[in-house]
Amino acid sequence: MNKQQTIIIGSGPAGYSAAIYLGRSGYTPIIIEGLQPGGQLTTTTTIENYPGFPNGIDANELMDNMRQQAINFGAIIKTESVVSADLNKKPYTLTLDNEEKIITETIIIATGATAKYLGLKEEDKYKGLGVSACATCDGFFYRKKVVAVVGGGDTACEEASYLSNIASKVYMIVRKPQLRASKVMQERVFNNPKIEILFETNTINLFGENKLEGATLVFRKGLPDEKTYNLTIDGFFLAIGHKPNSEIFKPWLDTDSEGYIITKYPTTQTNLPGIFAAGDVADPIYRQAINAAATGCKAAMDAEKYITHNL
């Protein structure tokens, strides 16, 4: 077993930012990168809303730069994943997928959240080429184009309303005969002339040559008046929720009803001493790279303060 002072679990903007700050403070944090180095951000293409890049920057390049910056300040990268955790008592024990066990006094959890998809194979094919799970991130690329938003809750209504300021036309694909969003959000989309709601509709296929060109939809699937048709669109936005990657920590950490780790505002401290949470795993609202990076900075400063006063 290896005993370490600080372990960062996750390698998105939150994890790398935490490592940069801890490294500059003289620590040697270990980053457990996990299955998706760079985090969810690497599933998109060009990032145009991250400050400091007036012409935008490729998402993978941005995350590679953050990774190298963390290494330059002394961070150690492990490409394995954490498969189990024992947070019953200090020091804490983490088990990696290569069966290595790490004992640590301090943990920063930055495992992110995974967008929920419909499960169509074409979603992966067109990811970054018309398929997105973040209207705020990618909406700009669909200026004056036709897009569709999948979902019927508050998030879907918010995404559709946001996109209506950019796109020429927004379809909402809703599998139920009504929206489940709040009344205020329902009124907002009903009264928006650029939004058309397709109730009782399911997406069964996406198509296009080199990028997304349309979706195959089914109206009232399985019923006598079932109808299948193609809808021409340039963008397809998933707004059916996110799943925070917190499962292995839930036996010990306080989470909300969706699984997001609860922190003690305004800090990143969880309910256990020496364990902090940063980025999307603790953020059910904003889910932006810049916000994740900021909370990674906060987690590093909180961890440094904890180490100074307790270890």
Would you please indicate which residues are annotated as catalytic (active-site) residues? 134, 137-138
The full DSSP string for 114-163 is: EE-----HHHHHTBTTTEES-HHHHGGGGTTSEEEEE--SHHHHHHHHHH
- 95-120: b or e for each residue (b if 16 or more CB lie within 10 Å)? bbeeeeebebbbbbbbbbbbbeebeb
β-bridge partners, 169 = 146
* Amino acid type, 81: S
Q: Which of 239, 1, 241, 249 is nearest to 110 (CA)?
A: 249
Tokens of 9: 């679990």
